[in-house]
Structure 1
């Protein structure tokens, strides 16, 4: 999670002094490489899941996880940023917020939602890391909504069975049936790649 060191304000604005992430948005790194290897993608998903699991333990839901809100530091590790849509999870929420391609079905339907919206977003994130685009992306907003509601997406032939299993267990229409972050971090596909050692230099260079 991106650290905040201090803040100050004047009559018009509040200024935040934040940790410096040398390599900027992970979105730009992903664009440059088109898609990540499963080794790199799995390690990033582990870190994101670990950070969000900590947030959830403090009753905080992020609600806007996407590559643009994940920053890459000079040590090759990621930091989650932009908590503008974050809320405390003690009360169930109904506000539609976040980014279109990452919205879960319950938000599209404007239903009450909880921390499980972040599970869905990490499923979308994992797919985008490995494929280079979100799973429900279309040319129109309405078509994207329809695909989200139907959980209609397909896997490319190059994606491994392990990666497909992680994604399919996160992109579940019923929130209660989604794999949680503890399960994500213990999933064989994640552990297989994390046990190979950190190879973040593969995408930084």
Structure 2
């Protein structure tokens, strides 16, 4: 699996065998200038200067843009409406906006403004300039026990917050975890996130990270995020996911068989934690039993973590990205600035679906 430098939260061509028909719905710390004028501000596209493309995907691009008034930097995600419709992603796009409008947490990317014209849907988001956790993991091969614990602790707090709002994230993986300039995480790409009333049946996600109940179409809920965290911790510490194969069907068979083989160097307690996350029966899965995230936090692997300090960003990040200024794009791939915007306008009847976007 080849190393990649980062795609600002847009999934797609990140690694072989990892696409799964994953839709593009992602984005890439807010600068002081940006943060001061974001809360009650209505933007227009004319307010923004496009600096560079920092991510591409199936039907979208993420641009680094600069606010002409405040000189602050943002990530502007632009999605082609004809492709959103063709790939039947209308509901996912609306879900993403609904979820991001409702959340406010130090470990989740922020949404400031949405807009559409007759070609594109736009989401103006926080620009997180440290790049993807994926690229750091690939360059190092694997993380140490303490490094994996740091990222896991911040992710636990992010998942706990989302679940407290009845939101299931459904797309946890290293490509969707960005690092800010100090090295703290931001979850991005909320295209699969969903407000849950009961259970949901949509098959979505990345094959290596899918919970058994998703593959079996049994209806799924918040437990899928704890399963995915188990996969992520394994991948961070081993350098590869626990269930992998050359094709998705082979991956699904291995997930349902549930046979775990740990590398020898893994800490005893982290192996126990991973086993408790990767329980096929979700009623017995850690994080999904009666005390929820508290059961996760009390696990022996996290014994040294001061949980009150985590959401305050007081833990010391193990990796501090090399960032020279707020609009630095060096932690993301470079993309050709091609004729991407020359698309034909969408018919008025098709735009009706997005009238509230």
TM-score (norm 2): 0.55
Aligned-residue offset at 1:95: 1.3
Aligned to 2:116: 9
Greater Rg, structure 1 or structure 2? Answer: 2
Deviation per CA, 1:141-161: give whole Å up to 9, x if none. 222111100111211100010
Whole-angstrom CA distance in 1 between matches of 2:294 and 2:230: 14
Judging by fraction of residues, say which structure has more helix: 1
How many residue pairs end up in the alignment? 204
Q: Which structure is higher in RCO with an 8 Å CA cutoff and minimum separation 6?
A: 1
Q: CA deviation at 1:42?
A: 0.7
Aligned to 1:189: 301
Q: For 1:198, which of 315, 336, 353 is the aligned residue? A: 315
CA pair 172-71 structure 1, distance change in 2 beyond 3 A: same
Q: CA deviation at 1:115?
A: 0.6
Q: Does 1:136 align with 2:243?
A: yes
| Matched residue SS, 1:192 | coil
Alignment of 1:17-166 (within 5 A): 17-166=124-273
Partners of 1:198 and 1:158 in 2: how far apart?
25
Contact in 2 for aligned 1:94/1:110 (Cα 8 Å): yes
- How far residue 17 of structure 1 moved from its aligned partner, in angstroms, is 1.6
- SS of alignment partner, residue 256 of structure 2: helix
Using the alignment, how far apart are the partners of 2:238 and 2:128 within structure 1?
25
**Structure 1: distance between partners of 2:166 and 2:127:** 26
The 8 Å contact of residues 147 and 318 in structure 2, kept in 1 or not, is answered as: no
* Deviation digits for residues 146-205 of structure 1 (CA, Å, limit 9, x no counterpart): 11001112111000101101101000000011111322222221232669x834244646
Mapped contact 2:208–2:241 kept (Cα < 8 A):
yes
> Which 4+ residue blocks in structure 1 deviate beyond 6 angstroms?
none
TM-score (norm 1): 0.93
Cα RMSD (Å) of the superposition? 1.7
Specify every segment of 5 or more residues in structure 1 that has no aligned partner in the other structure, as ranges: none
SS at match of 2:112: strand
The alpha-carbon deviation at position 131 of structure 1 amounts to 0.6
What is the distance in 2 between the residues matched to 1:84 and 1:176? 26
Question: Cα–Cα, structure 1 residues 124 and 64, in superposed 2: closer, same or farther, change >3 Å?
Answer: same
